[in-house]
Chains A and B, each alone.
Chain A
Amino acid sequence: MSVSIVHTLRVLRPAAMIALVALTGLVVGFYVNATFFPGTSPEQPINFSHRIHAGENQIPCMYCHVQARRSISAGVPSVNKCMGCHAEVATDSPQIRLLASYFETKEPIPWIKVHDLPDFVHFTHKRHVQADIECQTCHGPVETMDVVSREAPVKMGLCLDCHRKNEVEHGTDCWTCHK
């Protein structure tokens, strides 16, 4: 007679394999879901492309998002501002006609917010723009995106790292960002 746990391990191999496959599936599935289906690039009412505007045409961010340098929120430009150019530019494109119809009916465009922070976070664009922080630090390379999605992980770690690196005064005090 002899004894060893190997035999039992052999018997349990199918069960262990199933568990392993299930676990791997979960991990891979989670990763795939988070990477390829982030759910942070919603379909907007108008297919506005940052790539064309900010990328190819080199329009500065602050040209449209005027409030960013003096307000908490960066703000979305008014339809009027869009029409300032699009009264002349690419008027034939179906998307621009859609834009023009909003302008004519005097309705705001129901944009969907992509970079939304939780209710408990206090963030001012003003401070960060005045401190010459690149928009891309938090918003990702927006000028290359046709459809904007949340690429930079706008989480507490990102804020803290930057605050520590730039030695922001009381940058790690919780009440600096939490309300």
Chain B
Amino acid sequence: MTRNALGLFRDPDSALAAAGRLKGAGFERPELMSPIPIHGVEEVLGPKKSVIKRFTLVGGLLGAISGFTLAAWTAVLYVHPTGGRPIITLPPFLIITYEMTILFGILATVLGFLISARFPAIRERIYVPETAVDRFAVVVACSSDDLLQRAESILHEAGAEEVRRIAEGDS
């Protein structure tokens, strides 16, 4: 069973430094938890990519297509000539297209966010309530007791205020 070493820090810089050292020591990518977004994580732990932008783009394109199709197709399905305008009237239909582009873009962004950040959390995940207030935590998964001890010592060295062991799914 995988166990986790956890270090609590009072400031983000020390936490980040500790995470960097752990990574340097060959541990799996440590996880940071914080009450506010920490800047400079990517410099220490490597760049992060998110798929959200692709979701937004695809959603927007899909919205544009479906928006215009909705307007034009439904106008053709039951033809109601109005005001001497063509059945497929471009300027108003482009407005519908515009709105639907944004609507689908927004919905796709949300979907992308939920998928890429793996929400909602169905499986129990490690959490440290102090990090929602004013502590910065570094969590690293260790497969053996040896590694666990090494990780703890690294965390202590980095100036952790408190070091704990947590098992996955422990509540």
Contacts and interface: CB of A to CB of B under 8 A. Distances in A.
Q: Do A and B have CB atoms closer than 8 angstroms in the complex?
A: yes
Interface of A: 1-6, 172, 174
B171 interface: yes
Contacts of A3: 121, 124-125, 127
A5 B122 contact: yes
Contacts of B80: 174
Q: Which of A4, A5, A172 has the most CB of B within 10 A?
A: A4
B46 interface: no
Contact of B124 (A6, A172, A174): A6
Contacts, number: 34
A168 to B, nearest CB: 14
A2 B171 contact: yes
Interface string B124-153: 111111000000000000000000000000
A176 to B, nearest CB: 13
Contact of A2 (B78, B120, B126): B126
Nearest to B119: A5
B84 interface: no
B170 interface: yes
Given A1-B166, A172-B78, A6 B122 contact: yes
Nearest to B79: A172
Size bin of chain B's contact surface: 10 to 19
Contacts of B121: 3-5
B125 A4 contact: yes
B122 A2 contact: no
10 contacts: A1-B126, A1-B129, A1-B171, A2-B166, A2-B169, A3-B124, A3-B127, A4-B123, A5-B121, A6-B123
Given A3-B125, A4-B125, 14 more contacts: A1-B127, A1-B166, A2-B126, A2-B127, A2-B166, A2-B169, A2-B171, A4-B122, A4-B123, A5-B120, A5-B122, A6-B122, A172-B78, A172-B79
Contacts of B79: 172
Interface string B54-82: 00000000000000000000000011100
A174 B82 CA distance: 13
